[in-house]
């Protein structure tokens, strides 16, 4: 992984084997970024895609592997009582074992880079966005206090 900060934006190149969500959090910690938004594209080898199930209050995780074209990566980083937290969504295209073109996406737990990923990380200016727990849904939401 390598990155450069130009003005208020951090441009990130992730390399083979890098884990995207952890890499973004590592950069935020190193650069003292408390809250940010990010987007990106790339080629990946594995994605752990999660779906929140409101009835159970848990996430179900599905792992997709192979040549995954990361066509859209979007998310944010906020400050939590336990440190930084990344909320990430992504969309992938790929061919299954039968050669059929498929799409998979949703909430992301982890993404492993196959050959590269290019990410734009934009820190929040003029304040910090926190995260608060919502007991009704069991998830967290932005906190502006």
Give the separation between CA 44 and CA 21, rounded to whole angstroms.
Answer: 13
Please give the model's pTM, rounded to 2 decimal places: 0.93
Q: Which CATH class is domain 2-143?
A: alpha beta
- List the pLDDT tens digit at each of the 145 positions of the chain: 999 999 999 999 999 999 999 999 999 999 999 999 999 999 999 999 999 888 887 889 999 999 999 999 999 999 988 899 999 999 999 998 898 999 999 999 999 999 999 999 999 999 999 998 888 777 888 999 7
Give the separation between CA 113 and CA 28, rounded to whole angstroms.
Answer: 19
**Predicted pLDDT at 53:** 87
Provide the β-strand partners of residue 139. Answer: 134
Give the separation between CA 121 and CA 10, rounded to whole angstroms.
Answer: 5
Eight-state DSSP code of residue 18: -
Q: Where are the domains of the chain?
A: 2-143
CB 29 within 8 A of CB 59: no
Q: Which residue has the tokens 């066509």?
A: 71
């Amino acid at each position: 992984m390598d990155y450069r900060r130009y003005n208020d934006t951090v441009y990130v190149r992730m390399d083979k084997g890098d884990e995207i969500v952890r890499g973004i959090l590592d950069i935020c910690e190193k650069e003292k970024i408390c809250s940010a938004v990010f987007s990106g594209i790339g080629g990946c080898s594995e994605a752990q895609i999660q779906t929140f199930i409101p009835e159970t209050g848990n996430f179900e995780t599905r792992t997709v592997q192979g040549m995954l074209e990361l066509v859209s990566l979007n998310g944010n980083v906020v400050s939590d009582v336990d440190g930084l937290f990344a909320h990430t969504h992504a969309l992938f295209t790929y061919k299954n074992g039968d050669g059929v073109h498929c799409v998979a996406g949703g909430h992301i737990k982890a993404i492993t880079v196959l050959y590269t990923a290019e990410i734009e990380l934009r820190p929040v200016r003029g304040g910090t966005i926190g995260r608060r727990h919502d007991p009704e849904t069991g998830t967290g939401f932005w906190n502006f206090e």
